[in-house]
């Protein structure tokens, strides 16, 4: 039996929707999504004893870092997921939207399909934008300066707008 620290369980229960949204963004396929979710929780569990809270850094910053790092760099996940399509050649793939994943609307469906055409790094920017993170926190998660976050975020939003205006 694992001696799960109660604070980890509290953290997991509180931030589970966040982790699910990260998985939903990176994995259109339900099996891949569940694999990724389990992998993220495992990595969080293993990293939790080394986590040192700092007054100037939110716990969510650490969670985003771990979740995005696993989503972007896990080898097993990477070999299953297709590479992002180039914008010019992008045709929005038909991504199934599970009703269980959130509000089942055409707009969100279109959003997921557009996001699926982006690169892994661009997806991270989109996620942080959708999650309404500040530029400061984004910079802290991504490891680049706030100015660079602004520049890149502008480009990614433009790319996303273009994809959203494409016919399905």
Binding site for other proteins (CB under 8 A): 1-4, 8-9, 12-13, 16-17, 20-21, 35, 38-39, 41-43, 45, 47, 50-51, 62, 65-66, 68-70, 72-76, 78-79, 83, 100-103, 105, 107-108, 110-111, 119-122, 124, 129-132, 140-145, 148-149, 151-152, 155, 157, 160-161, 164
Residue closer to other proteins, measured from CB, 134 or 145: 145
List the beta bridge partners of residue 57. 54
- C-beta of 58: minimal distance to other proteins in Å? 14
- C-beta of 136: minimal distance to other proteins in Å? 13
Residue closer to other proteins, measured from CB, 91 or 145: 145
CA-atom Rg of the chain in angstroms: 16
Q: Which residues contact 162 (CB under 8 A, 6 or more apart)?
A: 87
Q: Which residues contact 103 (CB under 8 A, 6 or more apart)?
A: none
Residue closer to other proteins, measured from CB, 41 or 85: 41
- The 10 Å CB-count burial string (b at 16+, else e) for 66-101 is bbbebbeebeebeeebeebbeeeebebeebebeeeb
Residue closer to other proteins, measured from CB, 2 or 89: 2
Residue closer to other proteins, measured from CB, 42 or 134: 42
- C-beta of 164: minimal distance to other proteins in Å? 7
List the beta bridge partners of residue 54. 57
- C-beta of 11: minimal distance to other proteins in Å? 10
Say if CB 24 and CB 65 are below 8 A apart. no
- Residue owning tokens 């099996």: 31
């Amino acid at each position: 039996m694992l001696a799960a620290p109660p604070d980890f369980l509290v953290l997991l229960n509180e931030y589970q929707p966040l982790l699910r949204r990260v998985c939903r963004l990176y994995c259109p396929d339900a099996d891949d999504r569940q694999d990724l979710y389990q992998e993220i929780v495992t990595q969080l569990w293993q990293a939790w004893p080394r986590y040192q809270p700092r007054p100037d850094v939110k716990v969510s910053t650490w969670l985003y870092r771990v979740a995005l790092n696993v989503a972007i760099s896990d080898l097993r996940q990477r070999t299953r997921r297709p590479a992002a399509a180039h914008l010019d050649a992008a045709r929005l793939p038909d991504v199934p939207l599970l009703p269980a994943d959130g509000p089942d609307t055409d707009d969100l469906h279109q959003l997921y399909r557009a996001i699926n055409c982006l690169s892994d790094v661009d997806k991270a920017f989109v996620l942080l934008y959708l999650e309404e993170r500040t530029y400061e926190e984004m910079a802290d998660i991504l490891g680049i300066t706030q100015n660079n976050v602004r520049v890149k975020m502008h480009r990614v939003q433009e790319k996303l707008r273009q994809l959203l205006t494409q016919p399905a």
